Amino acid sequence: MAEDLIRLGTLNKDAVILAADQRGFLKAENIRMEMNIVTDSPTLLRNLIGGRTDLIVNNADNVIAWAEGQGADPNPNDFVIFLGGSQGLRQKLVVLSSVNDFCDLKGKVLAVDAPTTGFAIVMIYILKQRGLELNRDYTFKAFGNTPKRAEALSRGEAWGGMMNLPDDEIQARGFKVLARSEDYVTHYARGLGATRREWANANEELLVRFIRAFVRATDWVTDGKNKEDVIELLLPENNNSKLRAEEAYEESVSPRFGFTPRSRIDLEGIRAILELRRTAGLMKPPLPKPEKYVDDRFYKKAVAGLAG
């Protein structure tokens, strides 16, 4: 029997995506996954809207923003989160070496993926805590993902940005860390599975099988006895650096920053993102409930038949 194709859009391959694809969990569900890796979230979401991908793995913030017409597309989109990912946030506000304090960012351009979504909102929140306001004290310019933002700093086109660069690379590039997201943000839902509600309803049985494969992949990744195998999977995604692959593994299984157990959907993390967007002035109270952006019917069906 021919395998069913699912086209997945993502900005990077995390341990669960790699495991689902390379350890046979998708194959066991008779699914072939075609990955479409892009370098910025607007392209990721536009591909989903345009039907070039079926599903995406992304932060809840982007799903919420585009659902509300606050992304690069001014029209609301009927997106739905169907699968959990990781919890917590480990991003760094990376700046040029000449920046010694937050006040040094006044009048400066900061690099983002997109100005009204994702980690840009976290940066707005951090800087607000330090008395700086967007478009009064600093401005944003969109460059794309972390490598693109880092290049913008190296070229002198921006003075800082939220990034997930390893500390040794930050030092090698002559940058410094001004703030760490975990010191400001306790909950954050990222790496979740999302799609168009219309597609989910039309492909329910296929989506349930996909979720089942990813739940099994998450179980495998977070089982300590598979540590060395998971690190092996992560090596190519970390420039074949054993140290970086090990660091990626430790974050993957961390109770604060790692994958949610059995890929459950992190409603608390979604609620925290809604609050961040309110603080950034992008949403007004009363805030919607997290459930507005979630449909857990597919997830419940997927895990119902799994043991354990």
Exposure string of 83-105, with b = 16+ CB inside 10 Å and e = fewer, is bbbbbbbbbbbbbbeebeebeeb
**pLDDT above 90: residue 308:** no
User: What's the pLDDT score for residue 189?
Assistant: 98
List all residues 6 or more positions away from 125 whose beta carbon is below 8 Å from its beta carbon: 184, 185, 276, 279, 280
* Beta-bridge mates of residue 161: 94, 111
Condensed to tens digits (0 to 9), the pLDDT of residues 155-185 reads: 999 999 999 999 999 999 999 999 999 999 9
User: What's the pLDDT score for residue 288?
Assistant: 97
C-alpha–C-alpha distance, residues 206 and 33, integer Å: 12
What is the CA 92 to chain-centroid distance, rounded?
A: 14
User: What's the pLDDT score for residue 101?
Assistant: 97
User: What's the pLDDT score for residue 307?
Assistant: 65
- 163 phi and psi, to 5 degrees? -145, 160
Tokens of 177: 């860390």
C-alpha–C-alpha distance, residues 65 and 280, integer Å: 12
Condensed to tens digits (0 to 9), the pLDDT of residues 9-39 reads: 999 999 999 999 999 999 999 999 999 999 9
CATH topology of domain 92-183: D-Maltodextrin-Binding Protein; domain 2 (3.40.190)
Condensed to tens digits (0 to 9), the pLDDT of residues 198-231 reads: 999 999 999 999 999 999 999 999 999 999 999 9
CA angle at residue 125 from 121 to 126, to 5 degrees? 120
CATH topology of domain 4-88+188-304: D-Maltodextrin-Binding Protein; domain 2 (3.40.190)
All CATH 3.40.190.10 domain ranges of the chain, comma separated, are 4-88+188-304, 92-183
| Average pLDDT score over the chain | 96
User: What's the pLDDT score for residue 305?
Assistant: 79
Exposure string of 230-239, with b = 16+ CB inside 10 Å and e = fewer, is bbebbeebbe
pTM: 0.94
